[in-house]
């Protein structure tokens, strides 16, 4: 699969788009000549010099993170949510670099239903 994507990238600009971070996807795919949009578009990386003939291998990537100014706020919300949910058995919060959220599968279903009502408020 990697060879097929590399071959396509020789002829047209090619991107990998993922909900995972650019760093994770780039490490997994390992093709320097591609563009990567990770974290649902909050983390974008491309070749240092996008090749005009699409056959030049890039050595390093350019990183674009349009929401980096919001990282302190995201962290603040994460800390607040952990505090709010600390007494709920099984409650855990997932923290990605650019997003966060509850992991409801670890919480009893009746408690999850209660949480849905809180979410609406």
Q: How is the chain split into domains, by residue range?
A: 2-66, 70-120
Whether the pLDDT of residue 14 is over 50: the answer is yes
**Mean pLDDT within 15-40:** 87
Instruction: Using pLDDT thresholds of 50, 70 and 90, give the confidence band for residue 53.
Output: very low
Q: How far apart are the first and last CA of the chain?
A: 46
What pLDDT shows up at residue 41? 80
Whether the pLDDT of residue 71 is over 60: the answer is yes
Return the higher-pLDDT residue of 119 and 40: 40
Whether the pLDDT of residue 19 is over 80: the answer is yes
What pLDDT shows up at residue 55? 42
Whether the pLDDT of residue 46 is over 70: the answer is yes
% residues pLDDT > 70 (the chain): 70
Residue 91 to residue 99: CA distance in whole angstroms: 17
Residue 30 to residue 3: CA distance in whole angstroms: 11
% residues pLDDT > 90 (the chain): 0
């Amino acid at each position: 699969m990697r060879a097929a994507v590399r071959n396509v990238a020789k002829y047209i600009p090619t991107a990998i788009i993922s909900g995972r971070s650019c760093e994770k996807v780039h490490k997994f795919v390992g093709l320097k000549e591609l563009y990567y949009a990770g974290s649902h578009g909050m983390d974008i990386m491309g070749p240092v010099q996008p090749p005009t003939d699409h056959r030049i291998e890039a050595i390093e990537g350019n990183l674009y993170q349009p929401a980096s100014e919001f990282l302190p706020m995201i962290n603040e919300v994460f800390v607040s949510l952990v505090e709010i949910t600390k007494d709920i058995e099984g409650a855990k919060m997932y923290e990605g670099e650019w997003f966060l959220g509850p992991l409801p599968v670890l919480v009893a279903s009746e408690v999850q239903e209660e949480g849905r009502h809180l979410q609406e408020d």
